[in-house]
Amino acid sequence: MTGWLVIAGLGPGDDCLVTHEVTAALADASDVVGYSPYVQRVPDRPGLNRHETDNREELDRARHALEMAAEDKRVVVVSSGDPGVFAMAAAVFEAVEAGPESWRTLDIRVLPGVTAMLAAAARAGAPLGHDFCAINLSDNLKPWELIERRLRLAVEADFAIALYNPRSKARPEGFVRALDLLREACEPDRVLVFARAVSTPEEDLRVVRLANATPDMADMRTVVLIGSSATRIIPRDGMPFVYTPRTVSL
Residue 128 pLDDT > 70, yes or no? yes
Q: Contact, 156 vs 185, CB < 8 A?
A: yes
pTM of the model: 0.93
Separation of CA 210 from chain center: 23
Q: Name the CATH superfamily housing domain 4-114.
A: Tetrapyrrole methylase, N-terminal domain (3.40.1010.10)
Q: Which residues 6+ apart lie within 8 Å of 171 measured at CB? A: 138, 139
Measured between alpha carbons, how far is 103 from 4 in angstroms, rounded to an integer? 11
Q: Where in the chain is the domain with CATH 3.30.950.10?
A: 117-243
Measured between alpha carbons, how far is 18 from 150 in angstroms, rounded to an integer? 31
Give, in order, the Cα–Cα distances in Å from 49 to each of 109, 136, 139, 164. 20, 31, 33, 30
Segment 223-243 mean pLDDT: 96
pLDDT of amino acid 249: 75
Residue 39 pLDDT > 70, yes or no? yes
Would you say how long the chain is, in residues? 250
Nearest Cα neighbor of 180 from 151, 222, 200 is: 151
Percent pLDDT > 90 in the chain is: 91
Q: Say which amino acid occupies 98.
A: A
Segment 63-86 mean pLDDT: 97
Nearest Cα neighbor of 215 from 192, 186, 238 is: 192
Q: Where in the chain is the domain with CATH 3.40.1010.10?
A: 4-114
Please give the CATH architecture assigned to the domain spanning 117-243: 2-Layer Sandwich (3.30)
What average pLDDT does the structure give for the chain?
A: 95
Q: Contact, 63 vs 91, CB < 8 A?
A: no
CA 158-82-206 angle, 5° bins: 55
Q: Say which amino acid occupies 235.
A: P
pLDDT of amino acid 1: 66
Nearest Cα neighbor of 80 from 162, 138, 8, 19 is: 8
pLDDT of amino acid 125: 98
